[in-house]
Amino acid sequence: MAKDYKFSISVYIDNEELLPATIASITADKEFFRNSIQIVLIDSLVTKESTELCLKYTDDYPENIYFVDCQGENMAECFSDARVICTGAYVSFIRAGDEYSYEALKKLSEEPAFTKAPAICIAAETSKRRNGSVPYNFGAKDGTIKLKTNPDKVSLILGAYFFRNDTIVNVRFKKSLSSDFTMAFILDYFYHIGSYVYTSKFKFISPYPAENDIKNLKEQYNKSYFTDSIIRFAIPMLETKGNSAVIMNMVMYLIYIKLACGLGERYMFTMGPNGVNDFFNLISDAMQNIDDAVILNRNIARRALFPSTLTFKMLRLKYHNKALKPDIDFFPIGNSSQFEFRDASLRPRKMKTSGGFIATLGGALISSSEHIDVKIMSLKAEGSNLYISGCVTDISFLDRIEYKLFAISNRERIQFKDYHFYSLKTLFEIPFDKDHGFTITIPLKNIKEMTVLSFYISIDKINYKLRFSFGSTAAHLTEKFPHSYCVSGGRLITFDLEKRSITIRRATSFMQSHHERLFLSDVKKAVSVQKYLKIKRLRKRYHSTIDKYAERRIWLMCDSKNANSEDAHDIYNYINSLHDKRGIEVFYSHREINPDDSFIMTAFQSNNLASGTMTQKIIAMNADVIISNGHNVYKNLGFEDGEEIYYRDLLMADIVSFGDGISMLRSAQSENKMYDDTALRFCGSEQEYERLIHPIYGYDQKHLFAFGYPHMDTLMSVPSKQILVCPAMRRGFAKYAHIGYQNFTTEPLYSVFNSFIADRKLLSALHENNCNLVLILPEELAKQEYLWNKSEYVSVSSFENLGYKETIEKSAMLITDYSNIAFDFAYMRRPIIYYQNPSVSLQNNISTFSYRESGFGDVVTDADELVERVISTINSNFEVSAEYLKRRKEFFAFDDRNNCKRIANAIYDFEYNNKVPTADVKGGFGEVKPKPEPQPIAKQASNQEKAEKTIKPVEKKPQSQQPKKAIKPKEEYEEVEHQGIIYSDVPKKQEIGYSKEQKISQKYRPRPTEPPHQSEQYTERRVQPQQTQQIRYAEAPKRQRPVEPPYQPKQHTTERQVQLQQTQQIRYAEAPKRQRPAEPPRQPKQHTTERQVQPQRQQTQQIRYAEAPKKQPRPVQPQRSSGARYAEPSQQRNPQKSSEARRVAQSRTTAQRKAPTSQESVKQTTAQPKHADKKSKKSFRIF
């Protein structure tokens, strides 16, 4: 008799190594497992190991675990077969490796909703790794989810659901769908069932990525993921069940996920240009069955990691109308009103608004003034101005002529200046949207006490205040912490998101310490205790080292991990090798400090810093300049993803950047100035300069210079007989790390280059000329050397293993399609062949350089022709033709191997002299003082001319007065051999002080015996001067101190001072001597009790009260009317009488002050109030 199981769990096995973890999580509670759980093991592998493992579990639990052999079937077919066996109340479908949290099934069975809900969904975590897993969030809250009102609140993780067995009888797994069958099953289920219960108390943990985990999603690297999924799943689902809001929302969500895979640099060139056009057409066909309100649903766009600002662009794609414009409704500010629109559930909703505008189309909400965001990318005080740059997002539904952007600072209007930088949003390399770039300038002299800045948009002469955010490290602020602050140009900058304002004021130490405490309190609330202590310790250490580094000029260098050249390291070595560094301290941040690495041993180890350490981060915060090749500088310095937001206000260094060698590719997205707010960008040629000076890159003539690359100064020109084959890196190669490297053999690039290195004619030529060939693979394919045809003269490796600089220096020739390495070979005057086979597609963004017209070698498209060119180049001893040498000379900006010096001088002038850098290499770093130019030799006069001249007699000076001439010893030369070269003009070293005989005698003289120890004599140089000095001291008479005269009083010379002195002496003479009164005889102290003392005190107090005069009553003054401001004329004082009364009062007080009587003194003492002096001081302080 079959048991009444509460749960039936079907486990699909495609990896038997992951199965034990799944079984362990289900059988955590043995008793509950034996009584309530059924497991169906579905083996699709059917190997010896998997079969033995499944049979072992069935033997251990024969009543609970069942085994099904499904060899050759896909996952949809396996789940369909297993569903028939499942007899439990609730059924779940999972894969080997999936787990449940501890006792989740037992506790779930005790929930009140159990056995009542049609389906139960628990919280899910996906992509489980060693470092944790990714929480799956789809916006649902605990409780019953009614899909009629929340059609987008559906989880697409199949293993997180427990379906009631009687509700899935009519729902099938579609075997025709290979990857989307789980989503099709869930959507088909909820098409018939309108609700489910969600609980976040229990967790489902899976090692496989979720549908929106684009970083780990393997399916995106196959073309079928984009096109076949739309054809086989999306369009049929919408055609049959398109009347359901759930189906429309979730299919649109899946379309947004596929579009998100093609955003910007995420796209790995899975589809060509024709494939992208077909994909967009399929999306347009699918959206014909989706309502406009669903397409504009920003919630599902954000969940798919797709920019919500592009939802209106998708509406234009649906109707194939680029000129489609929304209807804009304006609401006056301050008046609350209601606006009706249709939401994602296709039902009318009302929204309250108190101002602003709302853009709609057919009743569907497109955007509003609340959605427009001012994203600040750079905020910096430079010179006498404060510059704020950024872009305004979610404004593409408006035309430029329809609105105006401006800022208001202290009631002063500041217009936005258009700032052209790369703000495009591309989908599959096609520009889809562009933000409005801007910059504003605020003079620092206008910022006195406090300046409040706000951003506005004006439409139809109505101004609306906009919200703002901070989009990069160069903004130095972050909206994640309300009390984030920064100091730039002596100004403290804070913000208030509620008031939508930025406050700028003068920075004081008190204000900085106050905001530091507030910022740390925000951080403490947002992170764990351990992370908070780490952040606090680093910030505290920085503030304690400000004085230490305040006067030091620090330059920090770092190279990108993925870069081939090491330009920052070359500049570091150059400055360190100079005698005069002009006060510059240079540091180098290396990602791996290894004592055995020659990279470090050649440098100065004292200033080498390990990347990511606290010391290195402190140096980065105190540096004036950070030099790096490539963008994302702080990531190169070891800051983890998201870590820099805690230190944005401290990272104020100017960024100096290089590219990874000369590049002619269109890469405005990765080389844009706005990423790091690059202060100086250096390039290697005029053509590269023309490419980067385009407005889309964001540079101007003050920040971009063609001064060469530092690594070119150190390139040698002594190659060996080595041929380097290096195809260019394609971003599409990254997909093979996910789908398997063995699939790379299907690439046309593999077949083209693999057949070339295996050509017999080429191999015989290599053998005859004793040459070798090295094929360099990209980093993604470096571990798959076994796929290539290697031989005695052909090797396969990568720059990571061989080293970039060492490899190109040894190579005498380069074969490539369009790699940037060709520019380094051209600089070294070595032959190049461009092998551009038609079957190998080039990258879409290569169009700025003509290899036939401007290249440095022949362009070959045929394999046989390539072999012939290589053999002819070997026979010519790798000679370069004059035409390509001429192109080389015209291409490179400089060829004097002074790039390091030129760049170092430019950085110094820009940073400390406030000069525009120039290409002059005179002066600056390491410049030797110029030698004086030799004077021209005068023409010798003839004998006749000498005779004609009159010779004047010269007076001879005494020999003592004549200056002595320094006798220069005659130089002797000797031959010296150095590195195989004999130099015969090396001056011989002179040994001064000894002749040859003395030198020999000194060499063989025996060592004298040491004299007995004497008391230490403090001698300067010789003994004789000391003895003479002692004799002089003995003969000298002793110095006697002069006798001081008796003290005389100071004589006053002025007449006034004499009169005062005489008067004072008379007074002193007439004054009687003060006599000390006789003291009464001492009486012994009477010890009385407190009871005896108290009557005496009362008696004394009564006598004092009796002697005191009675207080006279105060005369009553007439009351003034409360409304009268001035007194009546009769009550006004007479000025003459008041002055006379004042003089009489003053005379009386003077007389009383001179001779007060005892009675009057008592009256004055009693009339004075108690603590009158303290009260007056206190009231003054209050006043």
Q: Which two tokens stand for residue 1041?
A: 């101190």
User: Could you give the CA distance from residue 762 to residue 770 in angstroms, rounded to a whole number?
Assistant: 12
Instruction: Assess contact for 244 and 292: CB atoms under 8 A.
Output: no
User: Could you give the CA distance from residue 584 to residue 908 in angstroms, rounded to a whole number?
Assistant: 9
Q: Which two tokens stand for residue 395?
A: 């404004």
Task: Output the DSSP codes for 580-608.
Answer: --TTEEEEEEES---TT-HHHHTS-GGGE
Residue 128 pLDDT: 80
Return the H-helix or E-strand segment holding 901. Answer: helix 899-912
Residue 500 pLDDT: 93
For 1127-1152, write each residue's pLDDT tens digit.
334 444 444 444 555 554 555 544 44
Q: Where are the beta strands (DSSP E) in 954-1008?
A: 973-978, 981-987
Instruction: Assess contact for 578 and 651: CB atoms under 8 A.
Output: no
The reply to whether domains 1-210 and 715-891 share a CATH topology is no
Instruction: Assess contact for 368 and 358: CB atoms under 8 A.
Output: yes
Q: How far is CA 411 from CA 331, 408, 444, 452, 465, in A?
A: 24, 6, 16, 9, 14
- At residue 11, φ and ψ (nearest 5 deg) are -115, 115
User: Could you give the CA distance from residue 485 to residue 502 in angstroms, rounded to a whole number?
Assistant: 10
User: Could you give the CA distance from residue 296 to residue 117 in angstroms, rounded to a whole number?
Assistant: 32
Look up tokens 């003995």; give the residue.
1034
Return the H-helix or E-strand segment holding 1044. Answer: none
Return the H-helix or E-strand segment holding 1108. Answer: none
Q: Options 3.40.50.12580, 3.40.50.720, 1.10.10.10, 3.40.47.10; which CATH number does 715-891 get?
A: 3.40.50.12580
Which fold, 1-210?
Answer: Spore Coat Polysaccharide Biosynthesis Protein SpsA; Chain A (3.90.550)
Q: How far is CA 1018 from CA 1012, 1021, 1026, in A?
A: 17, 9, 9
Chain Cα centroid distance, residue 1139: 79
User: Could you give the CA distance from residue 905 to residue 920 in angstroms, rounded to a whole number?
Assistant: 8
Contacts of 375 (CB under 8 A, 6+ apart): 390, 391, 392, 393, 435, 468, 469, 470, 471
- At residue 573, φ and ψ (nearest 5 deg) are -65, -35
Q: Which residues of the chain have pLDDT under 50?
A: 1, 593-604, 844-845, 928-971, 973, 976, 978-987, 989-1011, 1013-1033, 1052, 1088, 1090, 1093, 1116-1138, 1144, 1149-1183
* Partners of residue 505 on adjacent β-strands: 450, 492
Q: How far is CA 956 from CA 165, 326, 818, in A?
A: 131, 108, 83
User: Could you give the CA distance from residue 229 to residue 660 in angstroms, rounded to a whole number?
Assistant: 38
For 123-139, write each residue's pLDDT tens digit.
999 988 766 788 999 98
Q: Which two tokens stand for residue 1134?
A: 């007479």
Contacts of 526 (CB under 8 A, 6+ apart): 480, 481
Question: Whats the size of the chain, residue-wise?
Answer: 1183
**pTM flag (> 0.95):** no
The C-alpha angle with vertex 988 and arms to 983 and 992, in degrees rounded to 5, equals 165
- At residue 200, φ and ψ (nearest 5 deg) are -100, 10
Residue 555 pLDDT: 95
Instruction: Compute the Cα dihedral for 784, 786, 791, 792 and give only its sign.
Output: positive
By DSSP bridging, strand 90-95 and strand 7-13 are parallel
Helix (H, G, I), strand (E, B) or coil at 554: strand
Look up tokens 């101007």; give the residue.
700
Contacts of 900 (CB under 8 A, 6+ apart): 570, 571, 574, 575, 710, 713
Q: Which residue, among 93, 67, 68, 77, has the nearest Cα to 10 in the 3D structure?
A: 93
Q: Options 1.10.8, 3.40.50, 2.60.40, 1.10.10; which CATH number does 542-708+900-912 get?
A: 3.40.50
Rounded to whole angstroms, the maximal C-alpha distance in the chain is 147
For 269-312, write each residue's pLDDT tens digit.
667 777 888 999 999 999 999 999 999 999 999 999 998 888 99
By DSSP bridging, strand 404-409 and strand 450-459 are antiparallel
Structurally, at CATH architecture level, domain 372-526 sits in: Sandwich (2.60)
Indicate the domain borders of the chain.
1-210, 327-366, 372-526, 542-708+900-912, 715-891
Contacts of 886 (CB under 8 A, 6+ apart): none
